[in-house]
C-alpha cells in the first residue's frame, strides 16, 4: 500500500508543521511518498526527506506549479496517481483548492478535513461545524483525503528519505497568478502556535485590537479573530478562527469579546485550556471556557498583560 502526500510548499519553502502532521495521519496507511511541487521546490523536498516516516520524496519544479494553481497541480498529481492507493494532504486552503479537483479527475469522492483514521478505508470527520462527528467508509479504489492538522501531532525529524525528480504534467494554461498579499509577522503561525489570543466584535476597532496583540506578544502567542472582527475590518482575513476559517487546538486559547457562536467554537473548542473574557455573563463562550472572567475587556486585558509580565 502506498500513499502520496502533497507537501505544503509556500514560495519554495516547506511548511513543516502542516506537512509533518499530515505524515503522522498518513503513516498507518502505508509507505509515504511526499510530493514537493512548486516553481521552486527542491529545498522543500530536502526538508521533507528528513521527516520521520517519509519513505521517498518526489520533487516537481516548474513555473506552472508556482503559487499552487489548482489546474496544473491537480494535473501533476493525477499523472502520478497510478502508483498510490491513498492521495493525501494537510487540510490547508491550498490543498482544499487542489484535492477535490484531483478526486473528480480520478472519479472518486474526496474526504475533506479528516480528523481520525480508523483503518485504510475508514475515516472520521467533523460535520455541521463540529457538532457531529461522522465515521465514513470509502468504497472507492483510491482515497483522496485532506487531514485536519489540529488533531494530529507533527512527526519528528531524523528521517533520510531518497529524493527523486519528476516532471510537471502539461500545463492546461487556464489560470495565472497575479499577486499575493501576505502579511509578514514575527508571531507564531496561528495553526501551530501553543497559545492563541483572539479578539471579537467586542474589541470595537482596529485600533483597539492592539490590546489583543499586546497580550499575544506577552505570551508569545498567535493572534486570532472572530468572523465579526474580520468582517468589521479590525483584523485581516487570515486571522479568522472557525468553521470557515482556521481550526486551531493550542494549549491555551484566550477569547476576548467573542460571544461564542457555534461557527466560532468549531475552530477552537479542541483547545486544551480555554479562557473567555466577556462582559456578558450569559455569553455562550463561557459554556466551553475552563476559566471565565466576566469583565470589561478594556480593563481586564491591559491588566492581564501587565500581570503576566
Ligand X SMILES: Cc1cc2nc3c(=O)[nH]c(=O)nc-3n(C[C@H](O)[C@H](O)[C@H](O)COP(=O)(O)OP(=O)(O)OC[C@H]3O[C@@H](n4cnc5c(N)ncnc54)[C@H](O)[C@@H]3O)c2cc1C
Applying the rule CB under 8 A, the residues between 176 and 195 that interact with another protein are 176-183, 191, 195
The SS3 of residue 185 is coil
For residue 115, state whether it binds ligand X (rule: CB under 6 A): no
- Spacing of C-alpha 198 from chain mean position: 17
C-beta closer to ligand X: residue 66 or 267: 267
CA–CA separation, 4 vs 195, rounded Å? 32
CA–CA separation, 308 vs 300, rounded Å? 12
For residue 206, state whether it binds ligand X (rule: CB under 6 A): no
Applying the rule CB under 6 A, the residues between 119 and 148 that interact with ligand X are 134, 136
C-beta closer to ligand X: residue 241 or 275: 241
Beta bridge partners of 38: 61
CA–CA separation, 161 vs 281, rounded Å? 54
For residue 92, state whether it binds ligand X (rule: CB under 6 A): no
Site string for ligand X, 157-196 (x = CB under 6 A): ----------------------------------------
Which of another protein, ligand X, none does residue 150 bind (CB under 5 to 8 Å by kind)? none
> Which positions ≥6 away from 242 have C-beta within 8 Å?
226, 227, 263, 264, 265, 266, 267, 268
CA–CA separation, 106 vs 82, rounded Å? 10
Site string for another protein, 25-64 (x = CB under 8 A): ----------------------------------------
# residues contacting another protein (CB under 8 A): 91
- Spacing of C-alpha 19 from chain mean position: 10
How far lies 208's CA from each of 34, 155, 213, in Å?
43, 38, 9
For residue 263, state whether it binds ligand X (rule: CB under 6 A): yes
Among 1, 84, 97, 71, CA closest to 35:
84
C-beta closer to ligand X: residue 20 or 285: 285
Residue 12 and residue 38 in contact, taking contact as beta carbons nearer than 8 Å: yes
- Cα dihedral: 286, 288, 289, 295 (round 10): -20
Q: How far is the CB of 92 from another protein (least distance, A)?
A: 5
Question: How many residues appear in the chain?
Answer: 309
Q: In this chain, which of 17, 122, 171, 298 binds another protein, going by CB under 8 A?
A: 122
For residue 298, state whether it binds ligand X (rule: CB under 6 A): yes
# residues contacting ligand X (CB under 6 A): 29
Q: How far is the CB of 306 from another protein (least distance, A)?
A: 9
Q: Residue 152 class from Cβ within 10 Å (0-12 exposed, 13-18 middle, 19+ buried)?
A: buried
Site string for ligand X, 236-255 (x = CB under 6 A): ----xxxxxx----------
For residue 206, state whether it binds another protein (rule: CB under 8 A): no
Q: Which cell numbers in the block locate residue 288?
A: 466551553
The position carrying cell 481520525 is 116
Applying the rule CB under 8 A, the residues between 146 and 175 that interact with another protein are 172-175
Q: How far is the CB of 69 from another protein (least distance, A)?
A: 7
Q: How far is the CB of 119 from another protein (least distance, A)?
A: 11
The position carrying cell 476559517 is 245
C-beta closer to another protein: residue 177 or 210: 177
Residues of this chain that bind ligand X (CB under 6 A):
134, 136, 200-202, 226-229, 240-245, 257-259, 261, 263-264, 267, 278-280, 283, 296-298
Amino acid at each position: 500500500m502506498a500513499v502520496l502526500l502533497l507537501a505544503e510548499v509556500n514560495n519554495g519553502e516547506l511548511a513543516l508543521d502542516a506537512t509533518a502532521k499530515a505524515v503522522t495521519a498518513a503513516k498507518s496507511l502505508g509507505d509515504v511518498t511526499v510530493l514537493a511541487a512548486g516553481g521552486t521546490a527542491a529545498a522543500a523536498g530536502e526538508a521533507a526527506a528528513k521527516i520521520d516516516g517519509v519513505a521517498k520524496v518526489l520533487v516537481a519544479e516548474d513555473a506552472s506549479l508556482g503559487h499552487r494553481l489548482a489546474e496544473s497541480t491537480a494535473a501533476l498529481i493525477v499523472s502520478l496517481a497510478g502508483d498510490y492507493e491513498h492521495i493525501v494532504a494537510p487540510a490547508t486552503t491550498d490543498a482544499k483548492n487542489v484535492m477535490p479537483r484531483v478526486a473528480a479527475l480520478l472519479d472518486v469522492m474526496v474526504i475533506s478535513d479528516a480528523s481520525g483514521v480508523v483503518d485504510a478505508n475508514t475515516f472520521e470527520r467533523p460535520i455541521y461545524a463540529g457538532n457531529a462527528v461522522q465515521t465514513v467508509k470509502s468504497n472507492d479504489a483510491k482515497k483522496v483525503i485532506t487531514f485536519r492538522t489540529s488533531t494530529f501531532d507533527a512527526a519528528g525529524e531524523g528521517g533520510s528519505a531518497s529524493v527523486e525528480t519528476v516532471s510537471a504534467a502539461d500545463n492546461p494554461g487556464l489560470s495565472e497568478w497575479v499577486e499575493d498579499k501576505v502579511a509578514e509577522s514575527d508571531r507564531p503561525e496561528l495553526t501551530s502556535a501553543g497559545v492563541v489570543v483572539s479578539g471579537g466584535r467586542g474589541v470595537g476597532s482596529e485600533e483597539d485590537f492592539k490590546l489583543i496583540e499586546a497580550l499575544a506578544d506577552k505570551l508569545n502567542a498567535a493572534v486570532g479573530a472572530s468572523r465579526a472582527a474580520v468582517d468589521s475590518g479590525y483584523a485581516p482575513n487570515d486571522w479568522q478562527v472557525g468553521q470557515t476559517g482556521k481550526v486551531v487546538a493550542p494549549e491555551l486559547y484566550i477569547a476576548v469579546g467573542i460571544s461564542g457562536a457555534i461557527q466560532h467554537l468549531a475552530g477552537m473548542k479542541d483547545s486544551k485550556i480555554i479562557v473567555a473574557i466577556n462582559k456578558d455573563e450569559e455569553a455562550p463562550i463561557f459554556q466551553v471556557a475552563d476559566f471565565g472572567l466576566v469583565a470589561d475587556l478594556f480593563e481586564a486585558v491591559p491588566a492581564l498583560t501587565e500581570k503576566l509580565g
